[in-house]
Structure 1
């Protein structure tokens, strides 16, 4: 009669919260240090530029931004706020300074490029058209053809087939719906494929680097210069300006 071997499991030690030094060590060891360093350098650059341009934040603006942040993250009560801070491992001062830094960044972008947003939008208006889009993403062309045929012949619902077959995390979880997206956010192959189709029409399979997409445009929205679009344009212009200045500085060194 054979004996059952019992393997003694090691006792899991208590894991203490990582210190700042340990976090830095992990970032270096996991090759993520440069990525975080770049973000820190960009943040420092923004604060220096704000100081040069004498851009400041009033106490009222600071308070309003903090209130908006708490509303957005559903941390309205004192206890909820402190629980959130503890989870993030930051102090009230850290959080408050982060709010201020975000405000200063917004003000800097508006100071530098606020006057050219309208003209940029008019020149690139079509990039800001939005579509409500559904998709089923699969990796095999034969599977994609079968799904597209089934949808065109109404042998299954888009939602049910997406839940069962889609390999895209967002589309699989939401029954195919990927949300309302700007055309500029989509892959070029998809933008081209949906350019002239009617709402509700089945498109595809379309091959991209991600796999084979079966698409359906749920609704089209005409371009408009909303506050969201305005902020996106300011971000685009600011990032381009930073990149161009960085290139010029590297060439001069």
Structure 2
């Protein structure tokens, strides 16, 4: 077999393949999104400098451990990219970040304050059983020290994944907890057994290991900013799609 055999692809072949895989629409939407970003950024006088592109390129090189220029060239070849393609991609991402900040930076803190409760978390352990009598028996056994909570969860929980983790659910936001027990969870004494509480899933017994108060960390700031921007961008693309129709010339 010729190890250096090259496979040539025509642009039309790529388009036809994307159609056959039902992926062409997603690509078109991504392109339309970038066009909208370009247009609005231009209207607002937002641009990306050569220096900013170089700084981000250097950061990516360090992240990918591309220590030599030859390492970068090899990586670009593996990704089927020319240096200019890489720079365009960096420029597009930086432009998106700048536009997101210009549009929504002043609204992030207000959104966080208005929805502060939704950003509170608990570290939760719980297990669920189907039978009420068993749930009550396990509660008393745990309270009397005949069996520990984590052992009971390991043996009796109806959820296989949670059984392997001895009832550990992890860090959970309010929206991720069953509506029937969310108020009890966020008002439960820390490290105290609560239950059994009946929901559509069965009978819950749980322990709140710790409470994590809502805090506008840099990471959360970026998440809220991204979600606001993405919601706006999706609305813009949908308007374009339904009113002007996306198409390939």
Give the TM-score band, short-chain normalised.
0.5 to 0.7
Corresponding residue to 2:50 among 59, 62, 66: 59
Note if contact 1:75-1:81 (Cα within 8 Å) is conserved in structure 2.
no
Aligned to 2:211: 220
Q: Could you say which residue in structure 2 is the equivalent of 1:118?
A: 109
Correspondence for 1:92:
83
Offset from partner CA, 1:56-79 (integer Å, 9 cap, x none): 1223322232233344x4434235
Moved more, 97-106 or 123-132: 123-132
Normalising by structure 1, we get a TM-score of 0.63
Distance 1:30 1:40 in 2: 18
1:211-244, CA deviations, whole angstroms, 9 ceiling, x for partnerless residues?
9998765433211222222222222222333344
Superposition RMSD in Å: 4.6
Cα shift at 1:108: 0.4
In structure 2, distance between residues paired with 1:173 and 1:217: 19
Offset, 1:107? 0.7
Shift of 1:109: 1.1
Q: Label 1:156 to 1:181 Cα distance change in 2 as closer, same or farther (>3 A).
A: closer
Confirm or deny that 1:75 pairs with 2:89.
Answer: no
Summarize the Cα distance change of 1:167–1:227 in structure 2 as closer, same or farther, 3 Å threshold: same
Which deviations, in whole Å up to 9, do the C-alpha atoms of 1:11-42 show, x marking residues without a partner? xxx99668455443332112222223222221
Rounded Cα–Cα distance in structure 1 between residues aligned with 2:19 and 2:204: 38
Q: Note the C-alpha offset of 1:55.
A: 0.5
How far 1:47 sits from its partner (Å)? 1.9
Q: CA deviation at 1:106?
A: 1.0
**Given the two structures, how large is their TM-score scaled by the length of structure 2?**
0.63
Q: Decide whether the 8 Å contact of 2:125 with 2:168 is kept in 1.
A: yes
Higher relative contact order (CA 8 A, sep 6+): 2
* Alpha-carbon separation, structure 2, partners of 1:17 and 1:56: 38
Q: Matched residue pairs, number?
A: 227
Superposition map of 1:180-219 within 5 A: 180=171, 182-183=173-174, 186=176, 189=179, 194-200=185-191, 217-219=208-210
Counterpart contact for 1:134–1:215, Cα < 8 Å: yes
Q: Residue in 1 aligned with 2:92? A: 101
Asked if the contact 1:75/1:84 (under 8 Å) is kept, the reply is no
Pairing of 1:1-253 with structure 2 (within 5 A)? 19=9, 21-71=12-62, 73-78=63-68, 80-132=71-123, 153=142, 154=147, 157=150, 161=154, 180=171, 182-183=173-174, 186=176, 189=179, 194-200=185-191, 217-245=208-236
The CA distance in 1 between the partners of 2:52 and 2:106, in whole Å, is 22
The structure with more radius of gyration: 2
**CA displacement, residues 138-168 of structure 1 (integer Å, 9 cap, x when unaligned):** 9x958xx89xx59x8446857x949xx9665
